[in-house]
Amino acid sequence: IEPTSGNTGVGLAMVAAVKGYQLILVMPDSMSVERRRLMLAYGARFDLTPREQGMKGAIARAEQLAAQTPGAWIPQQFDNPANAAVHEQTTAQEILADFPDGLDALITGVGTGGHLTGCARVLKARWPQLKVFAVEPDQSPVISGGAPGPHPIQGLGAGFIPKNLDTALLDGVIQVGAEAARDYGRRCAREEGLLVGISSGAALAAIAQKLPELPAGSRILGFNYDTGERYLSVDGYLPT
């Protein structure tokens, strides 16, 4: 049983199919239809929670279901240290291999925090000058010290600071608006030929926002997290 906004749920559904596990995914009912159908195709079951409760509501429901289900286990991606550890062992190592001359800035969105934390731990140890910036929705600026709130940038902004986010690694936080995230997602498709999800659009918008503040010639790394094919039904994101 796992609370998820999407991508971890897809991965768990694939593993559960191979291993023969029953899988119940708990997610806010605001998540895209494509994500849900993809997980259903792998044999997962769903429990949807009210969107206004955000990921906190999904986590609470998952814990309730686990307490009622013999033999159940919650991987809990927001707290599980294996999340950050696997990025230290894999993603960060790939970055080191791909950029032997180093980077000046890492700008990435925060969902569970494991991706940013795992990468930043390794990369800052190798490149002490590296600046790390977290990206979050301006409608739910929790990492910046603001109040949580509903927002349409799926995959980012859980409404709380996850245990897997080591805020001591951050050099700053960049808040991105929903329309900027949508705009950069659409531009990425039309100008680069890459159809990306709305959280990727948010990361690109954050890079564009931060770029004028960084020294000329800075080497900046961001991430495209998933395909825009999972968001075709989301109103206002892609052309219909």
What domains does the chain contain, in order, with CATH numbers?
2-68 (3.40.50.1100), 81-231 (3.40.50.1100)
Q: What is the pLDDT of residue 33?
A: 87
Are 158 and 114 in contact, with CB atoms under 8 Å apart? no
Positions in the chain whose pLDDT score sits under 70? 240
Q: What number of residues does the chain have?
A: 240
What single-letter amino acid sits at 163? K
d(CA 226, CA 208): 19
Q: What is the pLDDT of residue 237?
A: 87
Q: What is the pLDDT of residue 31?
A: 80
**Judging by beta carbons within 10 Å of its beta carbon (0-12, 13-18, 19+), is residue 98 exposed, middle or buried?**
exposed
pLDDT tens profile 64-88:
999 999 999 999 999 999 999 999 9
Q: What is the pLDDT of residue 240?
A: 66
Backbone angles phi, psi at 49, to 5 degrees: -115, 160
**Beta pairing, strands 131-137 & 2-3:** unpaired
**Beta pairing, strands 220-221 & 172-176:** unpaired
